[in-house]
Structure 1
Amino acid sequence: MTSSPDANDLALLDRLATARRELRHQIAQRIVGQAHVVDDLVTALLAGGHAVLVGVPGLAKTLLVQTVSQALDLTFSRVQFTPDLMPSDITGTELMEEEPGTGKRAFRFAPGPVFGNMVLADEINRAPPKTQAALLQAMQERTVTVAGRTYDLPRPFFVLATQNPIEQEGTYPLPEAQLDRFMFELTVGYPTREEEEQIVLSTTGATQGEVKPVLGAEELLQMQRLVRRLPAPPSLVKYAVHLARSTRPDAAEATARVKKYVSWGAGPRASQYLVLGAKARAAMDGRAMPDLDDVRSVAKGVLRHRMVMNFQAEADGIATESLIEFPA
């Protein structure tokens, strides 16, 4: 049974709610709009999850990730995924070195860009599956194994990937096993007319907004542990499990449309992320107890990339999100 938050936890909740407002302000120095994407990213970070951002080129996906890392004072690494990218280009490799004076030769491990707090996998679907799989162990276990030795990654550790949805030539769709390791799939849409005018004004001038750190790595780790400690009511857990099971065409909870259009639904990891996401949402508001609205607020981001649509859905033009229904 999870205990209620104590006085220290309540103080940390207040600090988190304040930090969220400060974080929004700092990100707004460079990013216009996209408030819901920022909130979803922060939710994933607090829950210790990874996220993939889907959007056409030019929507500042890379700049957004870099700005978040600066506002959280985290080390940032960017990997541009290309068809010739090798797994060792991500994880690192062993180099043969000769010791000065003795002439002895020994292998030294040279860490790759995955050894950062926040790793941006830019256009992740442009690299072949073998290279994509190099991130699997890192994302799940927060470790990397090279030449039989296992190395711990820095904490906190997040992988934020981007995908371009309009170019299919020269891309390799992410396998379901890797997609499942991303807590969220976030859709980055076009700005409004007013936002686009503001973007043009701010990016064609002589100055660029300065981003100041709001939190540090250690404080973020404390907040991650706080999110884990928040109690989840049994009714909320049942609701989250029901939502995840309702995406599976062979489950009793599935609707007729899910049975018709879905080949495979979300697994148990979706239920876990629905609860963790709800806890993180509550914590961001300074609340000690998540509710069903918190679950609903993260449901589409958690479920949309875990549902495999069939040919009938494609023929009928059915969008994945239209099949995610919220029972009363």
Structure 2
Amino acid sequence: MVVKSHKIHDVEMVEALKEARQKIFTEIRKVIIGQDQVIEELLISLLARGHCLLIGVPGLAKTLLISTLAKVLRLKFNRIQFTPDLMPSDITGTEIIEDDHSTGKKVFKFVKGPVFANIVLADEINRTPPKTQAALLQAMQEHEVTAAGTTYKLKEPFFVLATQNPIEQEGTYPLPEAQLDRFMFNLWVDYPSEQEEIQIVQYTTSAYSGQPQVVLDAEDITAFQDLVRRVPVATNVVDFAVKLVRMTRPNFDQSPKFVKDWIAWGAGPRASQYLILGAKTRCILDGRPTPEIEDIRAVAKPVLRHRLVTNFNAEAEGVDTIEIIERLLEKV
């Protein structure tokens, strides 16, 4: 399936994307049991040109899910295991000296690192020092890598998924809020249901081997990413998104009392942008031409979860950001 944005109408592209979404789910389900919401949110983030932070305990098939998604979308996939001794050059690439046979002289040659892929899985990103984290985060923001004064563009689409283990925090380097803000979504990968776990055990302990087929390719994804930007949004939907984000800030006059009591720092303007982009992407994945307020509500938790900084009062009362977001959605 090849979609040329300049050859077919946007309405037809929306229909094509809706059809492709169903096929993508069908193919991924050949390998992955459950996790439908996570898959949906990964697709939203990818098409919105965002990046994802995945939180989940080991053994929930996060790596398998991402590699399967890459196969279905025919995208180059690389996995980077972040460790305390990982260096920035281990991610971006390094220069080596080699012989130039035409001149007989020694020359520098840049060897690209694993960040040069369409989908990059940064496994346990909080296990490496900030200097190395920053190397990846620069690539995320600018879609390019600079080495020895030369800038190398990353191929589009470029999508980073970073994972963190919520249990083990010893010897880790938590991502600062400014760097967390670069991730569009914060997704929690939860345990499967009992029935799903039974299926997982049955499949993984048998000779069954799912072979997902390609549904889209890089050119299609880029065309759909461009389509997202062209989706019209009603003023009242934008107003709702901005109001929701502004109400997370304790110094905002209209913020509820519980926000002033529990939040130290609220979300910035990037949250409003991602709410709109997420809503636009969600609506066209569903085959609708324009987003509604309900689409904003649907993406509010993954967008805002990692952008709210709670204070001591919230910690003392056992209140987390999800509870605050849920209460905010009731207020707006």
Pick the TM interval, shorter chain: over 0.9
1:126 maps to which residue?
127
Distance 2:168 2:259 in 1: 28
- Aligned counterparts, 1:87-126, within 5 A: 87-100=88-101, 102-126=103-127
Distance 2:234 2:85 in 1: 48
Distance 2:254 2:23 in 1: 41
1:168 maps to which residue?
169
Deviations 1:106-153 (A, max 9, x none): 111111000000000001111111110111221111011111111100
Q: Provide the TM-score with structure 2 as the length reference.
A: 0.95
1:9 to 1:98, Cα distance in 2 relative to 1, 3 A: same
Moved over 2 A (4+): 100-103
2:53 is paired with a residue whose SS is strand
Asked whether the equivalents of residues 242 and 253 of structure 1 are also in contact (C-alpha less than 8 Å), the reply is no
Is 1:24 matched up with 2:25?
Answer: yes
How many Å apart are 1:101 and its aligned residue?
5.7
How many Å apart are 1:206 and its aligned residue?
1.3
- Aligned counterparts, 1:4-43, within 5 A: 8-43=9-44
1:121 is paired with a residue whose SS is strand
Distance 1:112 1:252 in 2: 48
Distance 2:105 2:69 in 1: 44
Deviations 1:267-321 (A, max 9, x none): 1000000000000000101111100011110000000100111122111110111
Deviations 1:18-72 (A, max 9, x none): 0100011111111111100000000001101000110111111111111111111
1:85 is paired with a residue whose SS is coil
1:182 is paired with a residue whose SS is coil
- Aligned counterparts, 1:1-328, within 5 A: 8-100=9-101, 102-324=103-325, 325-326=328-329, 327=331
Deviations 1:146-170 (A, max 9, x none): 1111110000000011110000111
1:48 is paired with a residue whose SS is coil
Counterpart AA for 2:121: L
Counterpart AA for 1:209: G
Distance 2:147 2:243 in 1: 40
**CA RMSD, aligned part only?**
1.3
How many Å apart are 1:253 and its aligned residue?
3.2
How many Å apart are 1:211 and its aligned residue?
1.1
Counterpart AA for 2:114: P
Asked whether the equivalents of residues 46 and 220 of structure 1 are also in contact (C-alpha less than 8 Å), the reply is yes
1:172 is paired with a residue whose SS is coil
Any gaps of 5 or more consecutive residues in structure 2? 1-6
Distance 2:101 2:225 in 1: 45
Distance 1:235 1:119 in 2: 36
Counterpart AA for 1:191: P
Counterpart AA for 1:20: R
Asked whether the equivalents of residues 249 and 262 of structure 1 are also in contact (C-alpha less than 8 Å), the reply is yes
Counterpart AA for 1:78: R
Distance 1:236 1:30 in 2: 37
1:195 is paired with a residue whose SS is helix
1:259 to 1:192, Cα distance in 2 relative to 1, 3 A: same
Deviations 1:47-104 (A, max 9, x none): 0100011011111111111111111110001000000000000001111111136320
Q: Provide the TM-score with structure 1 as the length reference.
A: 0.97
Distance 2:142 2:315 in 1: 35
Aligned length: 324
Distance 1:206 1:78 in 2: 26
Asked whether the equivalents of residues 246 and 254 of structure 1 are also in contact (C-alpha less than 8 Å), the reply is yes
